[in-house]
C-alpha cells in the first residue's frame, strides 16, 4: 500500500512542508467548515471523513459539518465545491475515482485540475474481492474457474461506472479471462445489502465495509488488490500472490478545496491534517478501516492527481469504456 506514496515522493523532489513557511491566517476559520462527502454514508470516504474530522476540528477550532452529496461517481459533490467560495470553509474528500471522471464524461461541469486546490492526501488502501458465501470458491484459482464456467451469467456490483471497484473488476476480467455483468450503484453503502443477500454476488469492497461481514461469515474475501497484504486483514492474500502477477488497484483518499483558496489557508489546513494523521488514536482508527495514513504536502497530492488522470484514461480505453 506504499506504492501510491512512493510515486508521489518520486514526482516531487522539493516541496514545502505543511507549515514550513510562516503565513498569515489571522481570522481563519471564522465559522464552521463544510466537508462534502460525495458518496452515500457508510463507505470508506465517509468513514475517513468522520475519523479525520473528529481531530481536525480541535486543531482548526471550529466544527466540521459533514455534507453528504452522493451521485454520479462524486461529480455532483465536486461541482458544488468547485463553485463554492474559495475561503477555506468548504472542502471535499475525494477518492481515486476523481481521477477517472475526466475519462468518463465528455464534458465535466468543472476542470479536475484547474478548479481545485489540493490540500493533502489522507490515506491509501486496498479493495477486497468479496463474494456471497453461496459461491463455492475460497481461492482466486477456484473463483476464476467458477467464473469461466458461467460466462455472462453472473453480475457484479460497483460504486459507479469508472469507479475503482469497477476498474478493479475490469482489470480482473482482462487478466483472468472471465466475463461478469456490471451493475453500478451510487456507493459502497448502497451495495452492501444486495451483496449480503446474494442479489449481486460479487463486489470489490473496501476493508472498512467488508471486514465485519467477512468475519461473521456472511461474505467471503478472496483476495485484495494492492501489491502487499493489508495489516487490517493480513489473512487475505493479494492477487499477485495468487498468480495474477502485476495486478494492482490501490485506492486513495484526499482533501480538495476550491481553486483560488488562499495558499496560506491551504497550508494551514494541510499542516493540521498532517498532525491529525500523526495522532496515534487516528492512525489506529484508520488502520481498523483498512486505510494506511499517508500524509503529503499539497504539491505532492497535486502531482499524484496529474499522474493518475492519464493512467486511468489508458485503463478505461483498454476496458472499452466510452465517455458519455
Euclidean distance between CA atoms 203 and 84, whole angstroms: 34
CATH of 127-224, one of 3.40.190.10, 3.40.50.720, 3.60.110.10, 3.40.50.300: 3.40.190.10
* 218 band by pLDDT with thresholds 50, 70 and 90: very high
Q: What is the pLDDT of residue 12?
A: 47
Residues of the chain with CATH 3.40.190.150: 3-125+251-318
pLDDT of residue 7: 55
**Over residues 274-282, mean pLDDT:** 97
At residue 15, the pLDDT reads 42
Distance CA 4, CA 16 (A): 19
19 has a pLDDT exceeding 50: no
pLDDT in tens, 67-98: 999 988 899 999 999 999 999 999 999 999 89
Contacts of 143 (CB under 8 A, 6+ apart): 129, 131, 135, 137, 222
Residues 6+ apart with CB under 8 A from 249: 126, 127, 164, 167, 168, 171, 204, 225, 226
Mean pLDDT of the chain: 90
DSSP 201: -
Which residues, 6+ apart, have CB-to-CB distance to 58 below 8 Å?
Answer: none
Output the pTM of the full model.
0.80
Query: What CATH code would you report for 3-125+251-318?
Result: 3.40.190.150
Strand order in the sheet with 219-224: 181-184, 155-158, 202-206, 127-132, 219-224
**Contact (Cβ atoms closer than 8 angstroms) between residue 266 and residue 298:** yes
Which residues of the chain does CATH 3.40.190.10 include?
A: 127-224
Residue 282 has pLDDT above 80, yes or no: yes
Q: What percent of the chain has pLDDT over 70?
A: 93
| Stretch (H or E) spanning 300 | helix 298-318
In this predicted structure, the answer to whether residue 16 has a pLDDT above a threshold of 60 is no
Amino acid at each position: 500500500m506504499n506504492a501510491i506514496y512512493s510515486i508521489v515522493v518520486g514526482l516531487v523532489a522539493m516541496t514545502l512542508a505543511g507549515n514550513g513557511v510562516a503565513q498569515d491566517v489571522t481570522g481563519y476559520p471564522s465559522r464552521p467548515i463544510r466537508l462534502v462527502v460525495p458518496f452515500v454514508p457508510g463507505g470508506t470516504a465517509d468513514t475517513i471523513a468522520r475519523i479525520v474530522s473528529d481531530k481536525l476540528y480541535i486543531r482548526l477550532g471550529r466544527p466540521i459539518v459533514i455534507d453528504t452529496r452522493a451521485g454520479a461517481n462524486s461529480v455532483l459533490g465536486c461541482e458544488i465545491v468547485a463553485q463554492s467560495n474559495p475561503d477555506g470553509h468548504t472542502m471535499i474528500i475525494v477518492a481515486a475515482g476523481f481521477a477517472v471522471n475526466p475519462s468518463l464524461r465528455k464534458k465535466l461541469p468543472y476542470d479536475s485540475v484547474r478548479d481545485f486546490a489540493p490540500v493533502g492526501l489522507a490515506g491509501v488502501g486496498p479493495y477486497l474481492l468479496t463474494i456471497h458465501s453461496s459461491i463455492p470458491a475460497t481461492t482466486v484459482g477456484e473463483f476464476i474457474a467458477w467464473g469461466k464456467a458461467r460466462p455472462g451469467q453472473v453480475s457484479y456490483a460497483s460504486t459507479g461506472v469508472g469507479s475503482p471497484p469497477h476498474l478493479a473488476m475490469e482489470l480482473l476480467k482482462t487478466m483472468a479471462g472471465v466475463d461478469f455483468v456490471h451493475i453500478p450503484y451510487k456507493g459502497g453503502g448502497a451495495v452492501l445489502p444486495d451483496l449480503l443477500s446474494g442479489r449481486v454476488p460479487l463486489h470489490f469492497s473496501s476493508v472498512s465495509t467488508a471486514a465485519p461481514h467477512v468475519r461473521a461469515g456472511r461474505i467471503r474475501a478472496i483476495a485484495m488488490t494492492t501489491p502487499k497484504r493489508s495489516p487490517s486483514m493480513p489473512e487475505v492474500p493479494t492477487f499477485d500472490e495468487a498468480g495474477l502477477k502485476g495486478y494492482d488497484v490501490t485506492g486513495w483518499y484526499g482533501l480538495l478545496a476550491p481553486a483560488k483558496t488562499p495558499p496560506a489557508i491551504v497550508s494551514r489546513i494541510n499542516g493540521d491534517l498532517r498532525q491529525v494523521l500523526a495522532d496515534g488514536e487516528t492512525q489506529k482508527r484508520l488502520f481498523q478501516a483498512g486505510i494506511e495514513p499517508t500524509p503529503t504536502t499539497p504539491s505532492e497530492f497535486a502531482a499524484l492527481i496529474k499522474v493518475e488522470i492519464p493512467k486511468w484514461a489508458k485503463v478505461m480505453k483498454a476496458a472499452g469504456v466510452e465517455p458519455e
